[in-house]
Amino acid sequence: MAKIELTDVSVTFTAHAQKRLSFKEYLVRGLFRRSANPAVRVRALEGINLTANDGDRIGVIGHNGAGKSTLLKTLAGVYPPTRGTRVVEGKVCSLFDITLGFEHEATGWENILYRSYLQGETPASIRGKMDEIVAFAELGEFINMPVRNYSAGMLMRLAFSIATAIEPEVLLIDEVLAVGDLAFLHKAKARMRELMKTARLMVMVAHDLDTIRAMCTKCIWMNHGQIAAEGDPNWIVDSYTAAVTAASEAALSAPEQAALGAPAQPQSAAA
């Protein structure tokens, strides 16, 4: 059984105004400021409530920076909630940051093992999958070489092949992967469709609204770290599209109104 349950989940990050200060800058600025490099708290998610069970296919949409990827990484356990509770039951396959855990001085064969262990595989479970992973990646003799010799496309192909070799119960997808040439892209999309069919529960972040309509049973509209709306994919996508269109038209008309001396119309808060 697969299950997701988020209850009043918030995720807050602590960042600094500057990534790095020299010792000299720290001393000089510290003389005039209470803090030479003050911390800034950024609330990425706020008050998220989400329940999903076997059979659910959930699409997540919203503007860049709306909190979509943070939500997905919270579900995957990458980001622990600052507040609230997170419950995820079932074997999770996360299709984002798929090159995490690669050792660039190790061969392709060795990296299959390293990355598979991070996904929860055991030596016994991965043994029977390694040949299929290598065949799907189509790397030829490069599989015997250190991955530092791979092109970016070759590395992504190997990473994708490893990431999609498990049988997930909970499938988490962040956007469409760039996985090489056109022929391999067709293979990758076919593999993704199979994963979507076999997974018990899926949550997918995408800007491709047609994919959301076609693949999902429910849609969530994220806006500034909160759920603005959720429900039927067609209704949510139509509402989101209308809000974005209205905001774009208002932004385009603002300079014209300013040139004529007319006050600009306020943008829609929902956008």
Nearest to 187 by CA among 215, 164, 155, 214: 164
**Residue 39 corresponds to which tokens in the numbers above?**
């911390």
- Quick check: 201 pLDDT over 60? yes
Sign of CA dihedral 48, 226, 202, 167: negative
Q: Are 162 and 185 within 8 A, CB to CB?
A: no
Please give the pLDDT value at position 261. 53
Burial 238-252 (b: 16+ CB within 10 A, else e): ebbeebbeebeebee
Q: Pairing state of beta strands 83-89 and 3-16?
A: antiparallel
Please give the pLDDT value at position 263. 47
**Residue 48 corresponds to which tokens in the numbers above?**
């998220």
- What is the total residue count of the chain? 271
Residue in this structure with the two tokens 């040949």, named with its chain if needed: 131
Phi, psi of 228 (to 5 degrees): -80, -35
pLDDT digits (tens, 9 = 90+) for 159-195: 989 988 888 889 998 875 566 677 787 888 888 888 8
Query: What global pTM score does this model have?
Result: 0.76
Phi, psi of 94 (to 5 degrees): -110, 115
In order of start, what are the domains of the chain with their CATH numbers?
3-8+53-244 (3.40.50.300)
- Quick check: 76 pLDDT over 70? yes
pLDDT digits (tens, 9 = 90+) for 15-72: 665 556 565 665 555 555 555 556 677 889 999 999 999 999 999 999 999 999 999 9
